[in-house]
Structure 1
Amino acid sequence: MANLNTRWRKENTYDAIVVGSGIAGGWAAKELTEKGLKVLVLERGGPMPHITGYKTATLDPWETRYPLGRLPDAEMKAKYPAQQRTGYALTEYTQHLFVRDDENPYEEKQRFDWIRGYHVGGRSLMWARQSYRHSPQDFEANAKEGIGVDWPIRYADLAPWYDYVERFAGVSGRKEGLPQLPDGVFQPPMEFNCVEEVLKKGVEARYPERRVTIGRTANLTAPTEEQLALGRGKCQHRNRCIQGCPFGAYFSSNSATLVAAERTGNLKIRPNSIVTTILHDPKKNRADGVRILDAESGQEEEFYADVLFLCASALGSTWIMMNSTSSRFENGFGNGSDQLGRNIMDHHLGVGAQAEAPGFEEHYYSGRRPNGVYIPRFRNLGDAATKKDYLRGFGFQGGAGRPSWTRAIGAPGLGADRKAELTQPGPWIARLGGFGEILPYADNRVTLNKDKKDKYGLPTLTFDASIKENEQKMRKDMIATAMEMMEAAGFKNVQPVDGDYAIGLGIHEMGTARMGRDPKTSVLNAHNQVHECKNVYVTDGAAMTSASCVNPSLTYMALTARAADHAVNAKKRGEL
């Protein structure tokens, strides 16, 4: 038996284990393998081969079972009560990418929209691809305002890594020279349409401090030789990104980082592997590996490594750490600070304005640009002119377009005249939606629920989180400023948008294992290492100390690349 155990351990031992294959996990795999480590990626979901796995990527509207691919209400209610809350993402086109809530339940003391996809590539196949850097002000705000804890790093620590990941991933955008939205390494920007040009001109004329730019998106507009060599191509402006891109035009683990990792010969991906426990060696005070539950066979197995990267998404990584209790970590792995599961952040949205833009009826646009306009933060920038009665700020995402024939679904009308009307596009509509920062609150938290189990018999999560007074004040300002900018552009019938929102709907869960300077008040150090166990790194959204008001995925990439570099060097020095 001893010989069998020795052989089993040898066969299941790697230099590094990466848990999760989404945006952070893909980057960890790429960086560690390219630096010479033998790496095992454990993904709880099934395979998703690049190109062939995107089974609806070329599906046309008339080939779906239901109009616009909208699933029946009864099916949504029974299988996807939480996943459907996006209001747009879960359709017949994307059903295979979203988890079934009846099989993967959770509890909500207050409404929490936990949107998930379990498959190789994770949410890197489902993300909106907006890619912005956090600014120097974002890394300093907590310390200056006495909120939460101070980031243990500053913008200068991450700036070269932002350059590095932007260059590889491919981000198109326009340099604007704004300190609150640092410029990066960009491919040529996508173009405004005619109404968006009017929006830009009108807003910037009346409000010089507000800049209207094109979104910075991880869709290739001028692929580099490195990107072409990976099999990636230029964006075709189909706007079917969430169905998977067979052109590899948008950045995902499947089209980019995992491809690069596999080409090193140092990577093994094991799908259907649910990591349940971090194995801890109390004598050495290091993680020895992980225990998994095979999602297909139901069998448990253990894998071993010197270095462990948790990249299972903020809440996935937090679940693993909470579930990994021992005599050393009675309250969850690395949770001596009692901060594990606390400080849940997201971005609050669903408010803004829309308006009609008459006078452009003879104009249309070519293609379906998978991007929109962006208005960077212009509140609380450190001067009296931008100061408001709340902390932090928000940006706007939006754009202008003309509705297609689908505007007729559910509307009255019959006959030849109705058909003729629908051969023409609808009126120009402009929209701006606010995207605001949520502060880290210790009582916004998630806990492990051992009484309620998922389909595998594993504990689930219970959420208790909400936005507070600061965010409510910000939302009122988001509506007011969106309306005044629509009016400044000369648009008509300006209407406020004040939609439904609960934490999670921004699909940017963050903060549940935050970085910090003090092990008594944080879970991770400046290199994303668990304070209490240095060979475990957490580089997904759990690590975030504050949220900023910009999409966070680019920061996850930069943090992961930086942490992987640190891990390899630390391993060489014998520190891990």
Structure 2
Amino acid sequence: MNSRKTSTPSVIPPGKKFDAIVVGSGISGGWSAKELCEKGLNVLMLERGRMIEHVSDYHTATMNPWDFPHHNQAVPLEVVKQYPVQNRTGFTITEATHQHFVNDLENPYVEEKPFDWIRGYHVGGKSLMWGRYSFRFSDLDFDANAREGIATDWPIRYKDIAPWYDYVEKFAGIAGDRDGLPHLPDGQFQPAMPDNCVEAHFRQAVNAGFPDRKVISARAAHLTAPTQEQTNLGRAKCQYRNLCMRGCPYGAYFSTQSATLPAARRTKRLTVRPHSIVNSIIYDEKTGRATGVRVIDEQTHQWHEFQSSIIFLNASALGSTYILMNSTSKRFPTGMDDSGQLGRNLMDHHFHVGATADYEHDLDKYYYGRHPAGLYIPRFRNLEGQEKQAFKRGYGFEVYTSRENWEHAYHEDGFGADFKEKATQFGNWKITLDAFGECMPYEDNRVYLTRDVTDKWGQPVLKMDVHYRDNETLMRKDAQEQAVQMLEKAGFSNINGFDAQAHPGLSIHEMGTARMGTSPKNSVFNKFNQHHIVKNVFCTDGAAMTSSPCQNPSLTYMALSARAADYAVKALKRGDLKR
């Protein structure tokens, strides 16, 4: 087993003031730091966990199964005990990947209702472990709340963010096709990953048999035809290993380590301080502005204060909200908010519902490599001009295929040469359709601060009071039925619908709790992700989301981060961020 690497935080002279502080180093934090540095600002990036350097700190990236003490099939009990929440999800804790997930014993939280909070506290955050599916939102999504009279209206529309989608896609590298769907806008794509034979059959059969839907290649943040800009950063084409969660030594998928961090570092304006737990924002009652942040050193437990002209919160949806709730002052006795919406409207995609099946044809075929992105079926319910369903909004399907290897012999009887020959043959093709559905922004789906439990550093923790409602239940019923119907029409066998009733948090797409909106009366942040009251504080991670379209949200965080950084730097230079 590989031990976690420790690193010494950067020594920052007392009284030093930065132009900007970025709290968090994941997908949105990396983008904020890159953009602010490239626009001429001196930036301090604070990460609560340890340093992970690109390539050199991906200790298990090139290990074979037999290189692990337990062949990557089991994790010692003393290790598992540190991850009770991360491990109960069923897909995170292995010998190869456990070091990228948070120690739950040191970082507890309280569950009023079940909530699976999956976290990675290290430089790069969940950009090292994310699923990499990257889809744009459309005006079907941005208009939804206003159209239905739900929650509050988004303060932006597609035209506001479209050029920023273009901008971040070109830099990050997104593999996909231009599919011409108005509710899933096309982007700046590199070539899509090729279908295997089962994917090709499923795509053709469903597209022919269901005129209201279209099977497309998943749009994934993997390089398939690297640009000069990307190779200059040391990135290379995807090697089709599908070991992404270990860290990619080729820089083929987008992460902070492979892309935004080296871009920010080459400006010579970035200081990265790991082991820095941001406790709260320091508010100046006289100027009405933030002056910096309070930090607990993760290793020494010592307190520090760091100063800056602007602050970008990119600590993850719940991490950024925690900091805002903990930032109390005479002006903000219950947290940095006037709307009453801080901590409310927590959303996460509901998933683990759909169907599985076998494909008994093309058994003489296999595939090259293990491509890390399959097919996607964009939302096809409640679109413009369609008959309305019993539920609002919609869902999309991620489609996964695979071929059984020797594992199929586990349940076979026999012995001798004939059995060995049979056991070394590939088994059936398998397919899974897994729906990701939109969760509505319910005001009473919320988080609180509580001192009933404290973390390793004596801080209060979050209490989760979140559950899915009738709308999500009705959507799940339809998703399972439609998955079964598509597999039946496409000629698959042994079809089984499933509904695993996943708890909020499990999709790892937490959104809301410090939403964007049109007024300080209905939201925490404005259309530029700028705090309505404390004008030099910005938030561009999942906390600022006003609703939760069924598409994976990370690409939108990237675009919002680049857009907000552009606005912030211009406002700073104009003097607009001073009282």
Which TM-score applies when normalising by structure 1? Answer: 0.96
Tell me the distance in 2 between the aligned counterparts of 1:486 and 1:68.
33
Per the alignment, residue 338 of structure 2 pairs with 336
Instruction: Report the Cα offset of residue 420 of structure 1.
Output: 3.0
CA displacement 1:141-188 (0-9 Å, x = unmatched): 000001110000000000000000000000000110001110000000
Instruction: Report the Cα offset of residue 72 of structure 1.
Output: 4.7
Per the alignment, residue 399 of structure 2 pairs with 398
State whether residues 47 and 273 of structure 2, in contact with CA within 8 Å, keep that contact through their aligned partners in structure 1. yes
What SS does structure 1 have at the residue aligned with 2:456? Answer: coil
User: Given residue 154 of structure 2, which amino acid in structure 1 is its aligned partner?
Assistant: W
Classify 1:521/1:411 alpha carbon distance in 2 versus 1 (closer, same or farther; 3 Å).
Answer: farther
Instruction: Report the Cα offset of residue 419 of structure 1.
Output: 3.8
CA displacement 1:498-537 (0-9 Å, x = unmatched): 1130000000001010000021111100000111101000
State whether residues 524 and 531 of structure 2, in contact with CA within 8 Å, keep that contact through their aligned partners in structure 1. yes
Classify 1:574/1:73 alpha carbon distance in 2 versus 1 (closer, same or farther; 3 Å).
Answer: same
Per the alignment, residue 382 of structure 1 pairs with 384
Equivalent runs, 1:44-123 vs 2, <5 Å: 44-72=48-76, 75-76=79-80, 78-123=81-126
User: Given residue 51 of structure 1, which amino acid in structure 2 is its aligned partner?
Assistant: V
Instruction: Report the Cα offset of residue 555 of structure 1.
Output: 0.2
Per the alignment, residue 359 of structure 2 pairs with 357
Per the alignment, residue 25 of structure 2 pairs with 21
Per the alignment, residue 428 of structure 2 pairs with 427
What SS does structure 2 have at the residue aligned with 1:144? Answer: helix
State whether residues 328 and 335 of structure 2, in contact with CA within 8 Å, keep that contact through their aligned partners in structure 1. yes
Gaps of 5+ in 2: 1-11
Tell me the distance in 1 between the aligned counterparts of 2:132 and 2:222.
7
What SS does structure 1 have at the residue aligned with 2:271? Answer: strand
Per the alignment, residue 124 of structure 1 pairs with 127
Percent identity of the aligned residues? 56
Classify 1:460/1:408 alpha carbon distance in 2 versus 1 (closer, same or farther; 3 Å).
Answer: farther
Tell me the distance in 1 between the aligned counterparts of 2:114 and 2:315.
22
Tell me the distance in 1 between the aligned counterparts of 2:14 and 2:563.
29
1:298 pairs with one of 292, 298, 301: 301
Tell me the distance in 1 between the aligned counterparts of 2:94 and 2:420.
26
| Bigger mean CA offset, 497-506 vs 398-407 | 398-407
Per the alignment, residue 248 of structure 1 pairs with 251
User: Given residue 55 of structure 1, which amino acid in structure 2 is its aligned partner?
Assistant: H
Tell me the distance in 1 between the aligned counterparts of 2:426 and 2:120.
34
Tell me the distance in 2 between the aligned counterparts of 1:376 and 1:462.
34
2:242 pairs with one of 234, 239, 248: 239
What SS does structure 2 have at the residue aligned with 1:18? Answer: strand
State whether residues 85 and 505 of structure 1, in contact with CA within 8 Å, keep that contact through their aligned partners in structure 2. no
User: Given residue 331 of structure 1, which amino acid in structure 2 is its aligned partner?
Assistant: T
Classify 1:297/1:410 alpha carbon distance in 2 versus 1 (closer, same or farther; 3 Å).
Answer: farther
Per the alignment, residue 457 of structure 1 pairs with 458
What SS does structure 1 have at the residue aligned with 2:357? Answer: strand
Equivalent runs, 1:535-574 vs 2, <5 Å: 535-574=536-575
Tell me the distance in 1 between the aligned counterparts of 2:268 and 2:412.
56
CA displacement 1:51-91 (0-9 Å, x = unmatched): 01100001111112224433256743x22111013312221
| Bigger mean CA offset, 411-420 vs 482-491 | 411-420
| Bigger mean CA offset, 412-421 vs 198-207 | 412-421
Tell me the distance in 1 between the aligned counterparts of 2:545 and 2:73.
36
State whether residues 12 and 302 of structure 1, in contact with CA within 8 Å, keep that contact through their aligned partners in structure 2. no
State whether residues 15 and 307 of structure 2, in contact with CA within 8 Å, keep that contact through their aligned partners in structure 1. no
2:209 pairs with one of 182, 206, 211: 206
Per the alignment, residue 278 of structure 2 pairs with 275
1:371 pairs with one of 370, 373, 376: 373
Q: CA RMSD in A?
A: 1.6
User: Given residue 465 of structure 2, which amino acid in structure 1 is its aligned partner?
Assistant: D
Tell me the distance in 2 between the aligned counterparts of 1:250 and 1:450.
40
Tell me the distance in 2 between the aligned counterparts of 1:328 and 1:336.
10
User: Given residue 35 of structure 2, which amino acid in structure 1 is its aligned partner?
Assistant: E
Instruction: Report the Cα offset of residue 552 of structure 1.
Output: 0.1
Per the alignment, residue 501 of structure 1 pairs with 502
Per the alignment, residue 262 of structure 1 pairs with 265
Which TM-score applies when normalising by structure 2? Answer: 0.96
Classify 1:429/1:14 alpha carbon distance in 2 versus 1 (closer, same or farther; 3 Å).
Answer: same
State whether residues 281 and 293 of structure 2, in contact with CA within 8 Å, keep that contact through their aligned partners in structure 1. yes
Classify 1:130/1:412 alpha carbon distance in 2 versus 1 (closer, same or farther; 3 Å).
Answer: farther
Whether 1:480 and 2:481 are equivalent positions in the alignment is: yes
What SS does structure 1 have at the residue aligned with 2:167? Answer: helix
State whether residues 355 and 495 of structure 2, in contact with CA within 8 Å, keep that contact through their aligned partners in structure 1. yes
User: Given residue 571 of structure 1, which amino acid in structure 2 is its aligned partner?
Assistant: L
User: Given residue 18 of structure 2, which amino acid in structure 1 is its aligned partner?
Assistant: Y
User: Given residue 179 of structure 2, which amino acid in structure 1 is its aligned partner?
Assistant: E
